[in-house]
């Protein structure tokens, strides 16, 4: 009989309740949970006073992505080790179909980047930079292959931006197949206009990046998207929602009957635009926070926290897109528009959301596990293999110690980046042990198994009933 391990005497976190008990792992799956009597010769790991959480599911990363003349600091090897250390056992990255390419070509390239290099299980969304009949004809085979979520950008004209006719047809086709499309909602045309004007006026410091993308442009794009959706009523979601205004647009669309699902990110919950300083300051350090959408106001953070807790927002991904400050962010020293957009976040997602969400009194531990794992598993077609602690599910388990208090410094992290936007954050609680399909890869916060044995996940269709 296969070796078994008993995680003894913790608190099992389920979507609606927390139960004191133990978990038995046999092979790669959960064999039993609850009140369990240890077997002879069974390996026993004491987990008293710790929570058992379903392994985190990261819904939004850009690993090994070429962007703005450089390539992200984290690839699949470093990014997934960082994820693992932080209690994330599944990652969904954006494979990209660039102009003129087939989706199959984009997918092939992403397999080359990821296969044999990932320390956690992984799947891909497919980002589409355009829409045409070839892509339309290809979509069914991509969905059949287990890529059941796509992405389109309403910003970045000339590189990725799509317009309403393309969105309509893509949604129509995805709808026939039962797949979903995530949208980057910002008005790309106005962003380009504002960028041109601000640069022509000689305003080139990092402060001005945010001035090119005011919050209204997110809400406007959501309104426009939801108008298209209301003609079709097909599955779709909004990636990295960053504003209270945007959330209001979502709520209005829902009142009109649109079934819209929403992702937000830790940076929009925890960091605000004061990080960009003032127009008078010329502190290039603020380039560390240059991302799109940009950081917003405190009142936006509050609205997003409330949305997450109430069920208006369904899951949390990080948009991890890391560039070193030295040598990469610095490419924009003379011009903010040349600063690579993005920041790291994959490693701290679970710890930040616990500390600031649960310990911070904004949501209970059950909702925390739902927005960091269960909902993503359901929406991205991985449930119940992933996203829940139950008999027969993959033994992707985080042993979380709520008592440890610690301070974030970038040198503690496994991300291959020379800074973290969360430097100096005092956190309550910490990921202790992490199991990937029964394999104890993290012990006491240390990654002890660094094998690249993450499996590629072919995914099912979205469960759109998540709240
Ligand atoms: Zn992104």
Give residue 303 CA to ligand 1 midpoint distance, Å: 21
Question: Is 235 contained in some domain?
Answer: yes
**Residue 248 belongs to domain with CATH number:** 3.20.20.140
Mean pLDDT along residues 260-278 = 97
Whether residue 395 is predicted with pLDDT greater than 70 in this model: the reply is yes
Give residue 249 CA to ligand 1 midpoint distance, Å: 20
Question: Is 7 contained in some domain?
Answer: no
Whether residue 424 is predicted with pLDDT greater than 80 in this model: the reply is yes
**Chain position carrying tokens 């009109």:** 256
Question: Is 241 contained in some domain?
Answer: yes
Give residue 194 CA to ligand 1 midpoint distance, Å: 21
Give residue 347 CA to ligand 1 midpoint distance, Å: 16
- Quick one: DSSP state of residue 14? -
Domain that holds residue 122: 55-379
Give residue 94 CA to ligand 1 midpoint distance, Å: 8
- pLDDT tens sequence across 146-182: 999 999 999 999 999 999 999 999 999 999 999 999 9
- Average pLDDT, whole number, for the chain? 97
Mean pLDDT along residues 200-229 = 98
Question: Is 425 contained in some domain?
Answer: no
pLDDT score recorded for residue 282: 83
pLDDT score recorded for residue 176: 98
Question: Is 19 contained in some domain?
Answer: no
Mean pLDDT along residues 104-114 = 98
Give residue 319 CA to ligand 1 midpoint distance, Å: 5
**Chain position carrying tokens 């269709």:** 461
Q: Taken in order 26, 31, 33, 37, is the CA torsion positive or negative?
A: negative
CB atoms within 10 A of CB 455: 15
Question: Is 464 contained in some domain?
Answer: no
pLDDT score recorded for residue 1: 66
Looking at the chain, the whole-number percentage of residues with pLDDT higher than 90 is 98
Give residue 127 CA to ligand 1 midpoint distance, Å: 10
pLDDT score recorded for residue 281: 86
Q: Quote the CA–CA distance of 77 and 91 in Å, as a whole number.
A: 12
Give residue 186 CA to ligand 1 midpoint distance, Å: 12
Give residue 255 CA to ligand 1 midpoint distance, Å: 27
Give residue 401 CA to ligand 1 midpoint distance, Å: 30
Question: Is 360 contained in some domain?
Answer: yes
Domain count, the chain: 1
DSSP track, 384-440: TTSSS--TTSB--EEEEEEEEEEE--GGG--SSSS--TTTT-EEEEEEEEEEETTEE
């Amino acid at each position: 009989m296969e070796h078994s391990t008993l995680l003894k005497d913790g608190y099992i976190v389920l979507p609606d309740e927390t139960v004191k008990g133990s978990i038995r792992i046999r092979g790669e799956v959960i064999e039993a949970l609850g009140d369990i009597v240890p077997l002879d010769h069974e390996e026993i790991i004491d987990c008293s006073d710790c929570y058992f959480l379903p392994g985190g599911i990261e819904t939004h990363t850009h690993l090994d992505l070429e962007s703005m003349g450089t390539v992200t600091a984290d690839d699949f090897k470093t990014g997934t080790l960082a994820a693992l250390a932080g209690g994330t056992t599944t990652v969904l990255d954006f494979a990209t179909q660039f102009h003129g390419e087939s989706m199959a070509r984009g997918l092939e390239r992403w397999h080359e980047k990821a296969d044999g290099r990932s320390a956690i299980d992984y799947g891909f969304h497919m980002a589409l930079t355009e829409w045409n009949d070839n892509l339309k004809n290809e979509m069914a085979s991509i969905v059949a292959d287990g890529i059941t979520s796509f992405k389109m950008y309403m910003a970045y004209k000339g590189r990725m931006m799509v317009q309403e006719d393309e969105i309509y047809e893509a949604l129509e086709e995805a709808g026939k197949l039962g797949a979903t499309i995530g949208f980057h909602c910002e008005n790309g045309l106005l962003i380009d206009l504002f960028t041109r004007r601000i640069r022509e006026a000689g305003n080139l410091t990092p402060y001005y990046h945010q001035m090119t993308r005011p919050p209204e442009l997110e809400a406007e794009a959501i309104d426009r998207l939801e108008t298209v959706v209301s003609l079709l009523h097909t599955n779709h979601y909004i990636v990295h929602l960053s504003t209270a205004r945007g959330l209001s647009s979502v709520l209005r669309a829902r009142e009109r009957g649109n079934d819209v699902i929403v992702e937000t990110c830790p940076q929009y919950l925890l960091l605000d635009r004061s990080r960009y300083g003032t127009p008078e300051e010329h502190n290039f350090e603020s380039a560390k926070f240059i991302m799109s959408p940009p950081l917003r106001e405190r009142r936006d953070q509050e609205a997003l926290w409330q949305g997450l807790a109430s069920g208006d927002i369904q899951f949390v991904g990080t948009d991890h897109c890391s560039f070193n400050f030295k040598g990469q962010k610095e490419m924009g020293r003379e011009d903010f528009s040349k600063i690579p957009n993005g920041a790291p976040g994959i490693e701290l997602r679970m710890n930040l959301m616990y500390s600031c969400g649960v310990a911070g009194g904004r949501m209970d531990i059950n909702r925390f596990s739902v927005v960091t794992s269960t909902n993503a598993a359901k929406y991205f077609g991985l449930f119940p293999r992933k996203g829940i602690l139950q008999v027969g599910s993959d033994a992707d388990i985080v042993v979380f110690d709520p008592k440890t208090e610690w301070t974030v410094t970038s040198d503690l992290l496994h991300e291959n980046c020379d800074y973290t936007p969360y430097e100096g954050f005092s956190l309550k609680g910490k990921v202790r042990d992490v199991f990937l399909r029964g394999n104890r890869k993290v012990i006491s916060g240390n990654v002890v198994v660094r094998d690249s044995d993450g499996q590629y996940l072919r995914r099912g269709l979205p469960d759109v009933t998540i709240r």
